Amino acid sequence: CCHMIHLHLPPLINILGTSGIGTPTTDVLNGTFVPPPTTDEVSVKWFKCMENTLTAKKASIFPRMITKDDYVSGWRKAKHNTSSNPTGPDYHVYKSTTHNKTLTAFETILLNIPYQTGYSPKRWKQALDLVLRKQPNNFDVKKLRTIRLLEADFNFMCKFMGKWAMSKAQDFEQLAKEQYCKKRHQAIGLALSKWLSIDIAA
């Protein structure tokens, strides 16, 4: 006999908003947020876990604006032959703008609009699925893999935000101790710990 339980979990977007930047988010980080009465138990616990450490509370953790230096540095590191969704400019175009101050300033402003407001351009919501062969001349479905090509500037945004988030997480000591592969740490420590754990368990 099976019993189906229907749970209504209100999405956090209704509480924190589409951008996640605002008074509710600030309250969550400060540990003063009071969830609505209809909030499920799991989300209530999550809100409590999201309170910042004392170090983080003393610093500004909200995303800063993307600067022209960030734009130039990010695109010059990108490779010319990287593929992207063909609906928008490709990597060649964006890399070439870094050699012109006017174009750099213009593109930086355009990137800051979604970065600071949470607005998502329509072309960022589209992707091109591309099927690749794992082995030459083998078209067996089981031997194929699918990759998804996103917009070049959307990829830039994801990398920028990921780098910022990891940097802040490390500065505020929010990374788990089990995460060995990070700044000033070596992944070999994880391999050693795993090997020792196996020896102890044997």
- Percentage of the chain modeled with pLDDT above 90: 23
Supply the pTM of this predicted model: 0.63
Mean pLDDT to the nearest integer, 44-69: 79
Q: Which of 55-59, 67-71, 102-106, 153-157 shows the lowest per-residue confidence on average (mean pLDDT)?
A: 55-59
Residue with tokens 């990070």: 182
Mean pLDDT to the nearest integer, 46-71: 79
**pLDDT at residue number 6:** 40
| Contact assessment for residue 172 and residue 59, using Cβ atoms and an 8 Å cutoff | yes
**pLDDT at residue number 7:** 41
Model confidence at 4: pLDDT above 50: no
Model confidence at 128: pLDDT above 70: yes
Model confidence at 94: pLDDT above 70: yes
Burial pattern 124-143, b for ≥16 Cβ within 10 A else e, equals: beebeeeeeeeeeeeeeeee
**pLDDT at residue number 185:** 64
**pLDDT at residue number 62:** 59
| Contact assessment for residue 80 and residue 91, using Cβ atoms and an 8 Å cutoff | yes
Pairwise CA distance, residues 156 & 112, whole Å: 12
Mean pLDDT to the nearest integer, 90-102: 93
| Contact assessment for residue 47 and residue 33, using Cβ atoms and an 8 Å cutoff | yes
Query: Which secondary-structure segment (H or E) carries 131?
Result: strand 128-133
Model confidence at 2: pLDDT above 60: no
Q: Would you give the DSSP letter of residue 41?
A: H
Cα 177–chain centre separation: 20
Mean pLDDT to the nearest integer, 156-182: 79
Q: Average pLDDT over the chain, rounded to whole?
A: 82
Burial bucket for residue 45 (CB in 10 Å: 0-12, 13-18, 19+): exposed
